[in-house]
Amino acid sequence: MPPQEITEAVAAIAERDGVTVLKDPYRDDSNGRWIVKIRLSPDDLEPHPDVPRETDWYLHLRDTYPADSIGVYPADQEENTITATFPHQKLNVAGSDDTPWRRGDICVARYGHTLSQTGATGEPSTSRDRLCWHMDRALRWLSNAAKGELREPDEPFEIPAFDTNSASATTIAFNETQESFSDWMTAYGQWGTVNLRSLPTAEETYATGTFKDSDDEVVYQPQWGGYIDSNPDDSVSGAWALLEEVPIEPPWEAPETWEQLDVFFEGTETDPYELRANIKPVLDDEPVKILLIGFPIPATVDGDPEIIYWQPIEIKEFKDPNDLSGGFRDTGKGPEIAERREAGEEQIRWLDSDNWSHEQLTRRGHMTEWFLDRNIVLIGGGALGSMVAENLVRAGCQQLTIIDNDTHEIGNVARHTLTIDEVGGNKATAIADRLESIAPYAQVLDVDSAFPPSGELPEPIREAEVVIDCTASRGVRRALDAIRWNHPVVFCSAAMGRRANRLFCFTAYSHTFPYSDYNEAFDPWRLQEQIEWDEDEDAIPERVGCWHPASVIRTDRVMTWAGTVTRLLDQATALSLRENHFTVLETGSDDDLPTISKATPPFQDGTIWRAPESPITVQIPATCLEAMYDRCRKEHPCETGGILAGTDRLDGPALVVNARDPPRDSIQEPTRFLRGTDKVEEWLKDARESIGIDYLGEWHYHPDASPDISRDDRTAMNEIANDDGYDCPHPLLFIVGQDEEGQFSINAYLFHDSKEYEQLEQIDNPDAASTLNVGDDI
């Protein structure tokens, strides 16, 4: 029994005008579908020799109906059927001996615009309505077929269906564009030879090489990438002939015999039988004998021709004049006479073909046009770099140079585009080979060298119009800063954070990489990353028995950022000369869904303090202040405090990044606080070596009192200023006070080893004062 959904759908179409159910659903085990025989009779059908008043059809429905595709096939070997092929129909040849339908499934859903629809988006999804919708459109398909209105003027041009079932499974890849069309406009009606390069694909595929005319003059030389250019020797000779129009017989059928094809050569310089005789010496000894039939096609139905399309023919064998009945005189015309007498009714063995041109293969999506023919240099073939490079090529970029001197190791496979086959080889070389195998238009060079290469810069680098750095190396960025190009270059330096929860992408348009601008933008983030780094969680031994730390980053996160880099590159084309842009994006933890947002810059919400006499400014972020206030609330009514740690910045205020809680051995009482020393020295040493922050001073809490400095505070801080162990001659002291309403206030003080101190002033504009490192002598 058919599924209930199919039973309901068939009952619904039986009530439709113009639809008659001739046979209830039955199971066809050969294709695993339910078959329904119907008859269609549109009310408005006009007379047409190939469209009977009533036509019988077979519907193909899957078990999953109303999901999946619906087939509508003409009946076979019956009076009430369609045997011709129309536009928007698969090749309507006879089916197999044990099936009562032909193969000409009509396209009622995929070509919605041909039936006064905007597409198949309006197709209903319920079991009763969906099949009715298909039947309504099948009736309209028949009406339009009889009127000759299946093709609308503005719809994409459709290549007729060529019967390739009788030939070998060989495909010809050609490379034709609007630009190459002009090379062929003077060759209509002519013929010649073509070099066909065998490609190492799973199916037998040949790519077109040089086209020559009958006088052995080059007519057209397609420009291929490295994948096809690397196979120049493994080739065969073929032939070509160029028609002046698409070989279509009404209603929409390609020629099936040489006699039918002869019609399309009429009025040209080429006779097809003479052509067969002329190309026999070229093709006779080849393992496959291929003749390309070319014709101009438009982009839309009523448009002007703008590209040459090649449909290949496999010639099984040429005719032998010695086999002619009655004999022949050897006048030189024997081969032509043999072909004319014997080949006319011969079935044409059409082969499959595909246009592998750059503009054709990038129709599904490509980068901004500006990038597609630029010379791009990518430095760093690691996880991020290899994926960025692959994105560039798949998005249409044609000229790429990869620079990397590292070896591809087995550990790289976890998050790299290369495979086990390339382990032990140079990354740049292996990536270049892979990229050329992805796109036939790609020319990818490899430079097995660190950057910059020693000696004179290679030409691909000197001529680079786009330079992408995926090394996360300060040395590479410095090297880029030292090179000056004669022309402006789009620069992109992309790196992931330690956990890959962030992407840092700096783009610029200039004659040299603006290293100082990059550093100014990235420095706060470098510190933020160091602070967040957890060696126990973020690194593991590379392999058992050694301690070579490897970062724990999943490949899906790398893929996300690699795709984002190419998006940001697209945006970089809007940069003006000497303009740059720094973007930081971040996503959630590994357990979260990958939502990405623009990251909030670190340390931007801090309070700035300035010394009234010394040229010193200090910034303390709100996060540190809040950490201090939380500790004060927790220990109230006792005094408390801790260590201030941070960093000196040459181009900005000294930055406090950690207001540490009091050590365990600290004394915390209502009227006294003595900061302990337990593990303080170890913590400071670790912070200095792993994070890059140093001791800057102390913080202290006065419960229910103003944040004024006491004599004991001054004594303690002066001792610290003069203690070489702290290595901080100008320590800071932040005092937190609290009023009667529980509101916190804060004062800041700067001490000197001369036992003097200054109370700092809070300012709004960090640029209002010059800067001096807190640890420097005055």
Which is nearest to 602 in space by CA: 535, 649, 569, 564? Answer: 649
Q: Which residue has the tokens 């930055």?
A: 655
Work out the average pLDDT over 481-510.
95
Report whether the peptide linkage leading into residue 637 is cis, meaning its omega lies within 30 degrees of zero: yes
Residue type at 141 in one-letter notation: W
Given a cut of 60, whether residue 115 has pLDDT beyond it is no
- Exposed/middle/buried for 181, CB within 10 Å: 0-12, 13-18, 19+? middle
Per-residue confidence band for 773, with pLDDT thresholds at 50, 70 and 90: very low
Q: Is the pLDDT of residue 587 over 60?
A: yes
pLDDT the model gives residue 766: 43
Question: Which CATH architecture describes the domain 607-768?
Answer: 3-Layer(aba) Sandwich (3.40)
Question: What does the mean pLDDT of the chain come to?
Answer: 90
Given a cut of 80, whether residue 594 has pLDDT beyond it is no
Residue 604, pLDDT > 80, answer: no
Average pLDDT of the segment spanning 678-683: 89
Quick: pLDDT tens for 636-676. 999 999 999 998 765 668 889 888 899 999 999 999 999 99
User: Is the confidence at residue 326, as pLDDT, over 70?
Assistant: no
For the segment 431-457, what is each residue's pLDDT rounded down to a tens digit?
Answer: 999 999 999 999 999 999 999 998 899
- Rounded-to-integer distance, Cα 281 and Cα 270, Å: 17
Q: What is the pLDDT of residue 58?
A: 97
* CA–centroid distance for 624 within its chain: 41
Lowest mean pLDDT among 508-512, 535-539, 707-711: 535-539
Cα 221 to chain center, whole Å? 29
The rounded distance, in Å, linking the Cα atoms of 261 and 242 is 12
Least confident of 152-161, 251-260, 264-273, 543-552: 543-552
pLDDT score of 462 more than 90: yes
DSSP state string for 310-369: EEEEE---PPPGGGSTT----SS-HHHHHHHHHSTTPBP-B-EEEE--HHHHTTT--S-H
The CA distances from residue 116 to 72, 108, 120, in Å, are 19, 11, 11
Establish whether domains 4-147 and 607-768 are of one fold.
Answer: no
The mean pLDDT of 147-155, rounded to a whole number, is 92
Judged by DSSP in three states, 560 sits in helix
- Helix residue ranges, H only, 109-197: 127-147, 178-184
More confident residue, 125 or 119: 125
Q: What is the pLDDT of residue 217?
A: 96
Predicted local confidence at residue 77, as pLDDT: 77
- pLDDT category at 426 given cuts 50, 70, 90 is very high
**CA 227 to the chain's CA centroid:** 20
Query: What is the average per-residue pLDDT within 351-370?
Result: 94
What is each CA distance from 115 to 16, 138, 299, 706, in whole angstroms? 19, 10, 20, 83
Res. 748: pLDDT tops 90: yes
Asked if 498 and 533 count as a contact pair (C-beta separation under 8 A), the reply is: yes
* Assigned token pair, 346: 């011969």
> What's the whole-number mean pLDDT along residues 597-619?
86
d(CA 240, CA 204): 19
In this model, does residue 776 exceed pLDDT 80? Answer: no
CA–CA distance from 14 to each of 37, 57, 135, 265, 319 (Å)?
11, 14, 10, 49, 56
Q: Using an 8 Å Cβ cutoff, are 376 and 468 in contact?
A: yes
CA–CA gap between residue 614 and residue 546 (Å, rounded): 50
531 φ, ψ (degrees, to nearest 5):
-65, -40
pLDDT at 118 over 70: no
**What whole-number distance in Å separates Cα of residue 701 and Cα of residue 640?**
5
Q: Which residues are catalytic?
A: 639
Query: 125 or 380: whose pLDDT is higher?
Result: 380
pLDDT at 775: 38
Residue 778 has pLDDT above 60, yes or no: no
Domain boundaries, the chain: 4-147, 170-360, 371-598, 607-768
Q: What is the pLDDT of residue 774?
A: 39
DSSP 687: I
pLDDT over 90 for what percent of the chain? Answer: 72
Cα–Cα nearest to 473, from 403, 423, 413, 543? 403
CATH no., domain 4-147 = 3.10.110
pLDDT of residue 530: 83
Residues in the chain: 778
- The gap from C-alpha 84 to its chain's centroid, in whole angstroms, comes to 42
Q: Is the pLDDT of residue 9 over 50?
A: yes
In this predicted structure, the answer to whether residue 359 has a pLDDT above a threshold of 50 is yes
What is 371-598's CATH number, 3.90.1150.10, 3.90.1310.10, 3.40.50.300, 3.40.50.720?
3.40.50.720
Contacts of 82 (CB under 8 A, 6+ apart): 50, 51, 52, 55, 74, 92, 102, 104, 145
Confidence bin at 119 (pLDDT 50/70/90): very low
- 227-231: long-range pairs with CB below 8 Å, 24+: 227/199, 227/436, 227/437, 227/439, 227/440, 227/442, 228/197, 228/199, 228/440, 230/436, 231/197, 231/198, 231/199, 231/200
Report the run of H or E that residue 27 belongs to, with start and end: strand 19-28
Q: What is the pLDDT of residue 478?
A: 96
Q: Say what percent of the chain tops pLDDT 70.
A: 91
pLDDT score, position 114: 44
- Other C-beta atoms closer than 10 Å to the C-beta of 262 total 16
pLDDT of residue 320: 86
Would you say residue 770 has pLDDT above 70? Answer: no
Count of other CB atoms within 10 angstroms of residue 354: 14
